[in-house]
Amino acid sequence: MSDTASQSRIEELLAGLNAPQREAVTHGEGPLLILAGAGTGKTRVLTHRIAFLEGTGMARANEILAITFTNKAAQEMRERVELLLGRRTRAMWVMTFHAACARMLRAEAHRLGYTRQFTIYDQADARRLVKRCLDNLGVDTKRYTPGAVHHQISDAKNKLRDAEDYRRMTGDSTAFTTHVADAFAIYQTELLRMNAMDFDDLLVNAVNVLQLFQEVRDRFSTAFRHVLVDEYQDTNAVQYRWLQLLSSEHRNLAVVGDDAQSIYGFRGADIANILSFEETFPDAHVVKLEQNYRSTQTILSAANAVIAHNREQKHKSLWTNLGEGEPIRIRELDDEHAEGRYVVGEIERLVDEGASRAEIAVFYRTNAQSRIIEDTLMRRDIAYQVIGGTKFYERAEIKDAIAYLTVLGNPQDVVSFQRIVNSPRRGIGQTSLGRVTAYADTQGISIWEAAANADQVPGLGTAAVRALSRFMDTMEGLRERVEQRVPVGDLLESLLHDTGYVDALKAERTIEAQGREENLAELVEVAREFDATAEEEMDTLDVFLQGVALVADADTRTDDEGLVTLMTIHNAKGLEYPIVFIAGMEEGVFPHSRALDEGGLEEERRLAYVGVTRAMRSLYMTSARRRNVFGAMQYGLRSRFLDEIPRELTDRADEPRIRPGMAAQRPGSWAASQPSPRSAAPVPAYRMGDDVSHAAFGAGVVTGVEAGGIVVVRFAGDGSERKLMAEYAPITKL
């Protein structure tokens, strides 16, 4: 492109921005913080800054790392940049934290004992493995559910704590924490043995590899000249550390966020990361954006009034020139069915008046609330989509097909192997499988090798040996095709055929089985689309599986013309719709009863703020006086958030009721809203000469202690001396 052409392109780029936005986009080198309320163009600033950096030659495309939280947001960001830059966007890393870490680990995980074919376990796989660990420990999984235990493990990992740290910090304070600590240790060993990582490991291991290997850190932190992060208010400790490491060389870290929209505290997101950015980077350039381009003044004023009830927030004043707009419609209905009928009735009326269904979204606090609204929409024949409901990749047959591919890519993967060995039925029962697994364990070989030598497995009946041998013959044949690097679509098609999977479905002759076949055909289609875009030299199967593992647990929103969109408010972050309904505005539902107990009220209020600020033109908020929650009838009070919206902004069809005993019914809820002092992690003090043990490097001795919590350790194993962050490194004092 000629200089004048690129010049005019940049002028065009800047023309669509207001003064502070332009200031942020054109900021040169050094840390940059854009702290602004909802709808002020933060995401727009990021995409324009990316284009600006590239367009002015301040950074080459492959020197830019841009991070967001959801796949949908990453996809949108990539599309927006592509509009501005075209094909050059291809070389950029515009992706989620998890995708970026997975990509980094494909190249570096071998340093941590994984192969590049490592499997990514989604939440369900992870929970299954936790259950196995608990079973092995003889723990009653009805009392100590795998879900609850996994949550604790995940929470610890997100704070960069390993099993030992967890045990040290909780002590053996309760039976529960003891079980968690035990299961955590086995779980990690098992994951490594199976060459698998869960979602949290992607981040933790990416941090480890950067932290432990100077040359890796040097390479990546030099390569990424500019690091940009959207929704920075939702980063947790491990993500924060990862960003710090990556931007350590150039210090060109540009983050945008809104402290009022931090809604992932329950996953360890630390609002302090954004509030203290200026302390971490005293030379940070700070830009504030105050003009909202999304919503009417009424919607903004309502959002501002609600969030004003939180103590912990930076004050921001938002304004818009989109005018007053309509009042917020607040309706109190008899029960959830009446609520569903009201919402759907309004949707029909709006569509009759000319609104497009795609302009309408219905939000709720928890996934379970969607069913009644879905039923009503279905009865009225209104096309809709649910974001984050039962998804394509969660269907059994899709998970089977993926498990087959996974085993072909990673023969160590016991969980996937167990899933497919008898699906379709081949006469390989639980007992036989147990013997094969035990044999693999005692011999220290992979499950694949054990099954391929079924005749060597003690105690296995002849029928089972024959069945396994036949099965493994098929699998060996497929594995050869993997080695020949056939396209993933072809591989998938042959495996569905060769393993008898499709034939078994055909033999069922049911509607369901037919549906399953169609889903599998759809998956083959997904693989073919992938093959069409795959680059020559890449490990296609692994890259394909990595992509699947990451979308499987995330959002797959499509902008199909004419679909009403349903989703939880968490999923709606960063999105906008002309017409928004928020259903279930009741105490106990929203704010959620769990949040009241745990002092999470401020986070619930931020969530309300996120919900309200998605609306551009019209906002409806509904509540039910009675609601069936998991089989029990509940009589809910109207949500306090509704009462926090000034009456003059609303059109309320129901007079507020006097609510006797209100205070008595909310024991402690106000006390719970007091900000609690954050507990600092107790890090043992290290002194020269202390003996320590490191998870990867083994025994060592402290040879120095430096400012900023750094300890220098000389390791006995290879004699190396390494600098470690005392707080984060997997070291223990002996």
Query: Helices 501-508 and 511-533: crossing angle, nearest 10°?
Result: 150
Near ligand ATP by CB under 6 A, which window of 35-43, 168-176, 341-349, 520-528?
35-43
42 is catalytic: yes
Which helix (DSSP H) or strand (DSSP E) does residue 156 occupy? helix 146-158
Chain-centre distance of CA 667, in angstroms? 33
Instruction: Give the residue, chosen from 176, 266, 293, 319, that forms a contact with ligand ATP under the rule CB under 6 A.
Output: 293
**662: helix, strand or coil:** helix
State the CB neighbour count (10 A cutoff) for residue 614.
Answer: 24
| Best CA proximity match to 143, nearest among 186, 190, 178 | 178
> Is residue 234 a contact point for ligand ATP (CB under 6 A)?
no
Mark the segment that binds Mg ion (CB under 5 A) among 8-16, 239-247, 566-574, 693-701: 566-574
- Stretch binding ligand ATP (CB under 6 A), from 11-19, 191-199, 393-401, 522-530: 11-19
| Closer Cβ to ligand ATP, 18 or 443, answer by number | 18
DSSP reduced 3-state for 703 = strand
CA distances from 81 to 41, 75, 535 (A): 15, 10, 21
Alpha-carbon distances of 406 from 390, 494, 603, rounded to whole Å = 22, 15, 38
Is residue 40 flagged as an active site residue? no
Of 42, 132, 167, 331, the active-site residue reads 42
Told to judge if 614 belongs to the known catalytic residues of this protein, a careful annotator would answer: yes
Name the catalytic one among 63, 162, 201, 230: 230
**What span, in angstroms and rounded, lies between the C-alpha atoms of 242 and 231?**
16
Helix axes 175-193, 163-170, angle to 10 degrees: 170
Does 84 sit near ligand ATP (CB under 6 A)? no
Choose among Mg ion, ligand ATP, none what residue 416 binds, the Cβ cut-off being 5 to 8 Å by kind.
Answer: none
Find, among 76, 125, 119, the residue nearest to 96 by Cα.
Answer: 76
Find which of Mg ion, ligand ATP, none residue 100 binds, CB within 5 to 8 Å per kind.
Answer: none
Candidate list 39, 146, 591, 611; residue touching ligand ATP; CB under 6 A: 39
Pairwise CA distance, residues 99 & 549, whole Å: 10
Determine if 257 is a binding residue for Mg ion (CB under 5 A).
no
Contacted by 17, from Mg ion, ligand ATP, none: CB < 5 to 8 Å by type: ligand ATP
Output the smallest distance, CB 153 to ligand ATP, in A: 31
Terminal Cα-to-Cα distance of the chain (whole angstroms): 62
Task: Provide the minimum distance between the beta carbon of 230 and Mg ion in the complex, in angstroms, as a whole number.
Answer: 6
**Quick check: 327 binds ligand ATP (CB under 6 A)?**
no
Is 63 an annotated catalytic residue?
no
Residue 295 Cβ vs ligand ATP, minimum distance, rounded to whole Å = 9
Choose the binding region for Mg ion from 37-45, 325-333, 427-435, 718-726 (rule: CB under 5 A).
37-45
Are 425 and 443 within 8 A, CB to CB? no
43-51, 220-228, 339-347, 712-720 -> range binding Mg ion (CB under 5 A): 43-51
When asked if residue 41 is in the footprint of ligand ATP (CB under 6 A), the reply is yes
258 binds ligand ATP (CB under 6 A): yes
Is 574 one of the binding residues for Mg ion (CB under 5 A)?
yes
Binding to ligand ATP, residues 571-610 (CB under 6 A): 574, 576
Q: Environment class of residue 343 by beta-carbon count within 10 Å: exposed (0-12), middle (13-18) or buried (19+)?
A: buried
Q: What, of ligand ATP, Mg ion, none, does residue 700 touch, CB below 5 to 8 Å by kind?
A: none
User: Does 47 sit near Mg ion (CB under 5 A)?
Assistant: no
Of 574 and 730, nearer to ligand ATP (C-beta) is 574
CB of 616 to ligand ATP, least distance (A): 8
Q: Which strand (E) or helix (H) includes residue 178?
A: helix 175-193
Does 42 bind ligand ATP (CB under 6 A)? Our answer is: yes
314 is catalytic: no
- State whether residue 500 is helix, strand or coil: coil
What track of x and - describes contact with ligand ATP for positions 549 through 578 (by CB under 6 A)?
Answer: -------------------------x-x--
DSSP secondary structure string for all residues of 239-255: HHHHHHHHTTTT--EEE
Rg (CA), the chain: 27
Q: Is 400 known to be catalytic?
A: no
What residue ranges in 514-614 does DSSP mark as E strands? Answer: 564-568, 577-582
> Which backbone phi and psi does 254 adopt, to 5 degrees?
-110, 120
Which residues make up the interface to Mg ion (CB under 5 A)?
42-43, 574
List, by residue number, the catalytic residues. Answer: 42-43, 230-231, 261, 614
Which residues make up the interface to ligand ATP (CB under 6 A)?
16-18, 21, 38-44, 258, 261, 293-294, 574, 576
